[in-house]
Amino acid sequence: MEWLGRARIAFTHCPSPLPLKRKDGSFTDLRRICEDSVPPCQLNPLLFNGHVQTMWTSVKDPGPTIYYRRKIFNAEHTTYKGTFAVDFAVPPHDEVDDTLPPRTAYFSEEEWAKIGSDDSRPMLIVLHGLSGGSHEVYLRHAIAPLILNGGGWEVAVVNSRGCANSRITSGILYNARATWDVRQVVNWARKTFPNRPLFALGFSLGANILTNYVGEEGANCSLKGAIVVGNPFDLELANKALQRTQLGRLYSRIMGSNMKRLMDLHKDEIIKYTNLNFDRIQNITYLHEFDREVQTVTWGYPTENAYYRDASSSDAVLGIRIPFLALSALDDPIAVCEAIPYQEFQQNPYTVLCTTSLGGHLSWFEVGGGRWHAKPICNFLNRMVKEIDLDSIKPDVTGIFEPSEFAGEFHPVRRKLEVSLN
């Protein structure tokens, strides 16, 4: 137990971190920016370990008040057809739509037609965790300082298909490597707001998706930086850790129940658009059983472990070519510490890992109800925008790793599953 909730903080990074040019012409590097962005981690001493921190999330907390307008996007990729919902943080409004999460309403056609802008305000694209959405408290804590009281940021949350009261309109659901929707939103934002510096933030499963995305994009990534929080990284290892203990199985049961409930909400669509066995899904108990009945059937993986290995983002860390900060709690019972790819962070100068000895899974509860993770997130984003000459960051297109004596080349985002693009 740490003394009175004071967590230890550690950083893992490349010996030669990415150099960064400040707007005043001086130089710093990614490690210093990350270290300067992370304040002391003083958590509620009564929530003394990762299990208590994580379980405390079930206590009703209204969280910061964030209002959204929703736009339904039609997928442009013919393989990953269907629709998905994006919620944009907006000023307070009085509209109530009982079919949507609280404080969320649809854009009118007139409002959406005017959304384009040539302003240079920074914009953050956010991915939530498993079965969550823009309404999640941990997410709202993180973005509130950026948009309230003159924070100056624009924020858009990409809801996974079927989440946050969105509809399922095809047989394409989401999984841990579903990078297609965030890719479309980033490309759309780049065209719609040509002068805005774009950043991204991902939580838990969304962190795994975001890490895969920036790794896949490599030097072509349109983002100026990204942060991932509570990333499970190695999904097979994380799954085994959950099954190893009684409490782990409890978490897996809860997550499995959440996913099963999500399927219940879309029963008609699941039966109409997919070949999933709905009755078998109703009989699952644990998350890995859900993945066995849904992900392996949908995507053609032979086992859930094959899916976990292929969808894990630990190798994708090596493909990242934008400033990238990862926040993880070493006592996280879901995104377990043994799954963190320390060596990969040490190899890639574009990445920095920050670990805290306490915090649980997306928890980090402070005395008074605040969430510590919001501070390093907002500090890092604001430092990057206000201090760093973002245009001076030139991704290395030639590679950053020495070739082997056999002239072999490692591809960090090569996948085993081949999806037809017809």
Q: What are the catalytic residues? A: 204, 332, 361
Report the alpha-carbon distance of residue 286 to residue 290 in Å, rounded. 7
Report the alpha-carbon distance of residue 409 to residue 414 in Å, rounded. 11
> Can you tell me whether residue 143 is helix, strand or coil?
helix
**Residue ranges of the alpha helices (H) in 225-303?**
235-244, 246-265, 267-273, 278-282, 287-293, 295-299
Report the alpha-carbon distance of residue 313 to residue 386 in Å, rounded. 30
Task: Provide the β-strand partners of residue 71.
Answer: 86
Dig out the tokens for 238 from the structure: 């994380």
DSSP-assigned letter for residue 169: -
Q: Are 313 and 335 contacting, i.e. CB atoms less than 8 angstroms apart?
A: no
- List all residues 6 or more positions away from 368 whose beta carbon is below 8 Å from its beta carbon: none
Dig out the tokens for 208 from the structure: 């795994």
Q: Per-residue DSSP letters for 363-387?
A: T-BPTTS-BTTHHHHHHHHHHHHHH
Angle subtended at Cα 360 by Cα 347 and Cα 232, rounded to the nearest 5 degrees: 40
Task: Provide the β-strand partners of residue 371.
Answer: 365
Dig out the tokens for 29 from the structure: 């590097």
Neighbours of 378 (CB within 10 A): 20
> Can you tell me whether residue 45 is helix, strand or coil?
coil
